[in-house]
Amino acid sequence: MGAIRENWRIAALVVIVLASTFALFGPIGTGTTVQTELVTLSEDENTVSVSESTFFLENTTLETTNESTNEIVASDAEIEIDGDVSNVTDTSAVVTNGTIDVTGGSVVSPKNTSAITATNNSIAVSGEATLRTDNSSVELSVERQQDGGLTNLQYGLDLSGGTRIRAPITGLHVTDLDIGDQPQLASNLSDDLGVDEIDVQVRPRDGVVEVYDGDVGKSEFASALQSAGVDVQASDVQAGVTGQTRETVVNTLQGRIDQTGLSGGSVTTAGDGLVVVEVPNTRPEQVREIVTDRGVVRIVAEVREGGANTTTNTTVITGEDIAGTDPISQEGSEWRTPVTLTESGAEKFQNRMNGVGFTTGNGPANCDRSGGQGSSRPGSYCLLTTLNGEIVSSNSLAPEFGTSLNDGTWAEGTRDFFMTSQTSEQAQDIKLSLDVGSLPTTLNLSQGAQYDLSYIEPSYAQNFKPLSLATGLLAWFAVAGMIFWRYREIRVALPMLFTAIAEVYILLGFAAISGLALDLSHIAGLIAVIGTGVDDLVIMADEILQEGDVATGRVFQSRFRKAFWVIGAAAATTIIAMSPLTILSVGDLFGFAVITIVGVLVGVLITRPAYGDILRNLVLSKDQR
């Protein structure tokens, strides 16, 4: 116990290295990952051999073959399959636990589907197969299942491939306004501008008004504000959105990427109000959909009185009224998303439903959007579930539900009900939008916008991994050569080099446990840490060993403190110099700065003191200590 107490810094280093080993190789990884590549098939090269892959089919004729006996052909068809395919005719098929819908084409099933299955507009191949096109040029998205490797490290765009989008945010805003008491300002502006009220944001306390429609110009926006009695000129209108809205967009997009299981994805801001979205192993069209889908979920009460030809729509539930959701489920042909309302949301829903006449008389169980012909009851009362303004389902109000709303007891109870949709994809989108929140606005990827979209092929990005490893090893061997040349004493140089390696190893463990996606900027930071770390260890060794013999433990401690003061001052300078890079929008320099700062902290708090104990044991006998 005395030896451990005396060398507790070395013991701490060993414990942290073991913890890093668990973080790197323990059961906390993501297992297999999916890599996506875009493959073009044409008359010159119309086949591709794949294994453990998924093909996405859209409006083309494709044929997969497995040992020349199994094939699935899609001719301008939409395929939705969940289960094994059998008994195929020209327009339908019998499946296990699922259906096939064919539009404008046909589906030909393989004789043996053990290796080829189809799910949600895609064909998945679990064994080896060949994909072929006939008389067409097709660009395919091919997902290849790939093992996560020996470690739990995640890799960013530079090392794994994927999509990067750098774009402005759609919107205009005006600040420092004297809005006064105008509770209907947002509604009036939306009417004047011809946009949805959700596209107008008014914050009277901050004196801010924003509009999120790309078709609205500065002059038009200023004119609408002037008509509402606000003193503003067109020159006061600024492009983009406020910092608060931009932060909301960034946080929502990051949550959406995390919720969809796209590991390693990041959303950051850049100069001039730009947002940078990076998602490894993901096709451009997937990322484009993420950043342009606002995810606005509403329930609208649609009322058509008996004998009337027009309807009135009242929004009774928005995403802000939802307290939480439960896993989706299927009930017959419908998909359900269970939700729970907040207390205020439940009160608002109950009052509005009673106010529009849904809960009494002809309201309950009376949804007839066809016009009422043949209906035994007059009028129509439908609850419409909408996603981004599109109706995904329409339902009547259950009589017992109407009774509890009418007598006021529902809002005091569990406040639970479910939203319906026609497909599982819609149900998942509704749940995701409610869990993460809707975007106040989207990234501007319109034709005239100034944005960058880049895609790095995974096969190309994979080449950087061995090159990065080779660069790191080369740096370490170069440093090792200089150390051995300087000291010419293995007992001093070897612990120094292994301490430096332990520092990098701990940083890799930190990256694994924090889910940091390593890019080339992080690799540059690791190499910098090797250099600065060894530099500090050289300062320690020189201060202790080059000023004469170390006769007692007191002399050693005096020299160690002197060296450590220099190292601590250098570390503080480095942290101060790098800190702005972690705050400012500087792109790839952020990763370099983070690794450098964490590496400096690890060195000052863990590895440098441990190396001091190692040197003490080397230069002092037990009696001298």
Q: What is the pLDDT, as a whole number, of residue 70? A: 37
- Range from 43-52, 238-247, 610-619 carrying the lowest mean pLDDT: 43-52
User: What DSSP letter does each residue of 249-305 carry, written as one string?
Assistant: HHHHHHHHHHHTT-TT-EEEE-GGG-EEEEEET--HHHHHHHHH----EEEEEEEE-
Mean pLDDT of 553-566: 85
Give the confidence band of 517 by pLDDT, cuts at 50, 70, 90. confident
List b or e across 64-97, with b for residues whose CB sees 16 or more CB atoms inside 10 angstroms. bbbeeebbbbbbebebbbebebeebeeeebebee
Which of residues 57 and 14 earns the better pLDDT score? 14
Q: Is the pLDDT of residue 256 over 80?
A: yes
- Range from 110-114, 237-241, 248-252, 598-602 carrying the lowest mean pLDDT: 110-114
**Encoding tokens for residue 309?**
């030809």
What's the rounded Cα separation, in Å, for the pair 462 and 9? 39
Distances (CA, A) of 581 to 354, 519, 588: 56, 16, 10
Give the confidence band of 4 by pLDDT, cuts at 50, 70, 90. low
Give the confidence band of 219 by pLDDT, cuts at 50, 70, 90. very high
Contact between residue 242 and residue 272 where contact means Cβ atoms under 8 Å apart: no
Q: What is the pLDDT, as a whole number, of residue 79? A: 43
Considering the chain, tell me which residue range(s) the CATH 1.20.1640.10 domain(s) occupy: 458-619
What's the rounded Cα separation, in Å, for the pair 595 and 521? 9
**Encoding tokens for residue 441?**
């606005």
What's the rounded Cα separation, in Å, for the pair 434 and 342? 13
Give the confidence band of 138 by pLDDT, cuts at 50, 70, 90. low
The strand pairing partners of 386, in sequence order, are 298, 391
Q: What is the pLDDT, as a whole number, of residue 346? A: 93
CA angle 264, 276, 576 (to 5 degrees): 85
Give the confidence band of 94 by pLDDT, cuts at 50, 70, 90. very low
Q: How many CA atoms lie within 13 A of 423 on its CB side?
A: 14
DSSP, collapsed to helix, strand or coil, labels residue 383 as strand
Q: Is the pLDDT of residue 245 over 90?
A: yes
DSSP, collapsed to helix, strand or coil, labels residue 163 as strand
Q: Is the pLDDT of residue 77 over 50?
A: no
Contact between residue 578 and residue 507 where contact means Cβ atoms under 8 Å apart: no
Residue type, 559: R
Q: Is the pLDDT of residue 590 over 50?
A: yes
pLDDT tens per residue across span 154-197? 888 888 888 999 999 999 999 998 887 777 888 889 999 999 88
Distances (CA, A) of 239 to 192, 203, 209, 373, 442: 19, 17, 12, 50, 14
Mean pLDDT of 340-357: 92
Distances (CA, A) of 621 to 11, 97, 488, 550, 610: 19, 76, 21, 10, 18
- Range from 227-231, 290-294, 429-433, 552-556 carrying the lowest mean pLDDT: 552-556
Q: What is the mean pLDDT of the chain?
A: 79
Residue with tokens 């073009």, as numbered in its chain: 40
Residue with tokens 């309201």, as numbered in its chain: 363
Q: What is the pLDDT, as a whole number, of residue 47? A: 66
**Torsion, CA 294, CA 297, CA 301, CA 302, rounded to 10:** 50
Q: What is the pLDDT, as a whole number, of residue 3? A: 63
pLDDT tens per residue across span 396-426? 898 999 999 998 899 888 888 889 888 888 8
Give the highest mean pLDDT range of 375-384, 392-401, 442-451: 392-401
Q: In which element (H, E) is residue 74 found? A: strand 70-75
Please name which of 190, 197, 184 lies closest in space to residue 318, comparing C-alpha atoms: 197
Looking at the chain, the number of H-run helices and the number of E-run strands are 17, 28
Mean pLDDT of 558-587: 86
Mean pLDDT of 215-231: 91
Q: Is the pLDDT of residue 454 over 60?
A: yes
- E-strand spans in 428-553? 452-456, 517-518
**How much is the CA Rg of the chain, to the nearest whole Å?**
32
CA angle 606, 611, 614 (to 5 degrees): 130
Mean pLDDT of 295-322: 87
Domain 171-239 - what CATH class?
Answer: alpha beta
CATH code for the domain defined by 297-436: 3.30.1360
The percent of residues in the chain predicted with pLDDT above 70, rounded, is: 76
Which of residues 545 and 601 earns the better pLDDT score? 601
**Torsion, CA 38, CA 42, CA 46, CA 50, rounded to 10:** 0
- Range from 50-54, 233-237, 607-611 carrying the lowest mean pLDDT: 50-54
Q: Is the pLDDT of residue 575 over 90?
A: yes
Q: Which CATH architecture has domain 458-619?
A: Up-down Bundle (1.20)
Considering the chain, tell me which residue range(s) the CATH 3.30.70 domain(s) occupy: 171-239
CB atoms near residue 184 (< 10 Å): 10
Considering the chain, tell me which residue range(s) the CATH 3.30.1360 domain(s) occupy: 297-436
DSSP, collapsed to helix, strand or coil, labels residue 381 as strand
Q: Is the pLDDT of residue 72 over 50?
A: no
- Range from 134-143, 204-213, 438-447 carrying the lowest mean pLDDT: 134-143
Q: What is the pLDDT, as a whole number, of residue 540? A: 87
Give the confidence band of 220 by pLDDT, cuts at 50, 70, 90. very high
